[in-house]
């Protein structure tokens, strides 16, 4: 800003110094706004774990492409449940009997599973046909994470045409993939409009915040 003002100053046809200051500050404001916007958006989505989750979904979809299967689109409600389950697992160490190494059917059940569903505005009837696949990989090393899904018992789910969507959540060494179907018993579509209500409140909250920020900047 200072450089801008001093380099223009010697020019005889320059507008008064104060005008160029105002111009500079409004230019600054124009620069600030998108910066603020993007930082708010970034705050909303924890970058680190989202990257691991996105990388795994891309890996799973490449695996499906290699089998001539369609890509699984991202499902928000399945991701919500995956996050809650990863949170339950996060303090368990990785052993050769956890995650994708478990014998099918021996996965520890959670007594509060219905509560986890309820937190995501889901219930047993719209999730029972889905698949829940937890894996434990130290530091979530990406190549090991992918093979824990594509080269384990889970591959039988990943190549199954009945699944049509996926949500992924991770905490510490744990990463959980939840698959959805396009039938009513595995759709992960909340029966009430509670979820959309929450997100609308969220949006209004953000708009109010943006409004306050722009008033402060003016
Ligand atoms: C996928 O489709 C291509 C072309 O249709 C075919 O050559 C290939 O063998 C298929 N791969 C599998 C795994 O079915
Ligand atoms: C798991 O690891 C323990 C100790 O490292 C070993 O004794 C056991 O045989 C392993 N079990 C399986 C199923 O690999
Ligand atoms: C799964 O991850 C573990 C690390 O927790 C690793 O030792 C194992 O080899 C992986 N399994 C597969 C099938 O990639
Ligand atoms: C899917 O994967 C399972 C387990 O790896 C395998 O037994 C089955 O043949 C595969 N099915 C298809 C259609 O690729
Ligand atoms: C559900 O998925 C199956 C397999 O992917 C597809 O054949 C069917 O048309 C889908 N049904 C609906 C209602 O989208
Ligand atoms: C799930 O929600 C639907 C709609 O709210 C309701 O009709 C159904 O009884 C619920 N199922 C269970 C098992 O709670």
Taking domain 47-195, whether its CATH number is 3.40.630.30 is answered by no
Atom 9 of ligand 6, nearest CA residue? 125
pLDDT digits (tens, 9 = 90+) for 75-134: 999 999 999 999 999 999 998 877 888 766 556 677 888 899 999 999 889 999 999 999
Atom 8 of ligand 1, nearest CA residue? 68
Residue 198 CA, distance from chain mean position = 17
When pLDDT is averaged across residues 164-191 and rounded to a whole number, the result is 94
Pocket of ligand 4 (CB under 6 A): 67, 155-156, 159
Per the prediction, the chain carries an average pLDDT of 79
- Is the predicted pLDDT of residue 210 greater than 80, yes or no? no
Ligand 1 contact, 192 CB (< 6 A): no
Please state, in angstroms and rounded to a whole number, the distance separating the CA atoms of residues 9 and 93.
66
Confidence of residue 6 (pLDDT cuts 50, 70, 90): very low
Range in 168-172, 184-188, 198-202 with the lowest mean pLDDT: 198-202
Please state, in angstroms and rounded to a whole number, the distance separating the CA atoms of residues 181 and 108.
23
In what helix (H) or strand (E) does residue 138 lie, and over which residues does it extend?
none
Please state, in angstroms and rounded to a whole number, the distance separating the CA atoms of residues 61 and 55.
10
Ligand in nearest proximity to the CA of 182? 5
Distances (CA, A) of 172 to 54, 176, 212: 16, 11, 36
Beta strands 163-171 and 174-181, pairing class: antiparallel
Ligand 6 contact, 124 CB (< 6 A): yes
Ligand in nearest proximity to the CA of 141? 3
pLDDT score of 41: 59
* Token output for 21: 């200051």
Ligand 3 contact, 94 CB (< 6 A): yes
pLDDT score of 14: 46
pLDDT score of 214: 74
pLDDT digits (tens, 9 = 90+) for 21-45: 555 556 656 666 666 665 555 555 4
Ligand in nearest proximity to the CA of 118? 6
What angle, rounded to 10 degrees, do the helices at 17-44 and 194-217 form?
160
- What spacing in Å lies between the alpha carbon of 163 and ligand 6's midpoint? 22
Please state, in angstroms and rounded to a whole number, the distance separating the CA atoms of residues 61 and 200.
30
When pLDDT is averaged across residues 12-24 and rounded to a whole number, the result is 50
**How much is the pTM?**
0.71
Please state, in angstroms and rounded to a whole number, the distance separating the CA atoms of residues 64 and 67.
5
- How many C-beta neighbours within 10 Å does residue 55 have? 16
Whether the Cβ atoms of residue 210 and residue 172 lie closer than 8 Å to each other? no
Task: Map residue 13 onto helix, strand or coil.
Answer: coil
């Amino acid at each position: 800003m200072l450089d801008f003002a001093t380099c223009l100053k010697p020019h005889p046809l320059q507008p008064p110094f104060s005008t160029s200051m105002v111009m500079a500050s409004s230019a600054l404001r124009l620069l600030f706004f998108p910066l603020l916007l993007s930082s708010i958006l970034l705050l909303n989505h924890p970058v680190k774990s989202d990257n691991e989750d996105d990388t795994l979904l891309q890996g799973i979809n490449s695996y499906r492409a290699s089998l001539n299967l369609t890509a699984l689109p991202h499902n928000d409600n399945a991701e919500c449940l995956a996050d809650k389950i990863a949170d339950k697992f996060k303090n368990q160490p990785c052993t050769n009997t956890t995650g994708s190494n478990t014998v099918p059917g021996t996965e520890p059940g959670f007594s509060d599973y219905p509560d986890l569903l309820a937190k995501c505005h889901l219930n047993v009837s719209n999730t029972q046909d889905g698949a829940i696949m937890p894996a434990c990989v130290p530091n979530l090393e990406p190549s090991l994470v992918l093979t824990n899904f594509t080269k384990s018992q889970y591959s039988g789910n990943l190549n199954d045409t009945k699944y049509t969507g996926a949500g992924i959540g991770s905490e510490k060494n744990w990463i959980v993939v939840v698959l959805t179907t396009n039938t009513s018993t595995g759709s992960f579509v909340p029966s009430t409009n509670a979820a959309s209500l929450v997100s609308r409140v969220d949006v209004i909250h953000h708009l109010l915040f943006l409004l306050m920020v722009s008033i402060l900047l003016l």
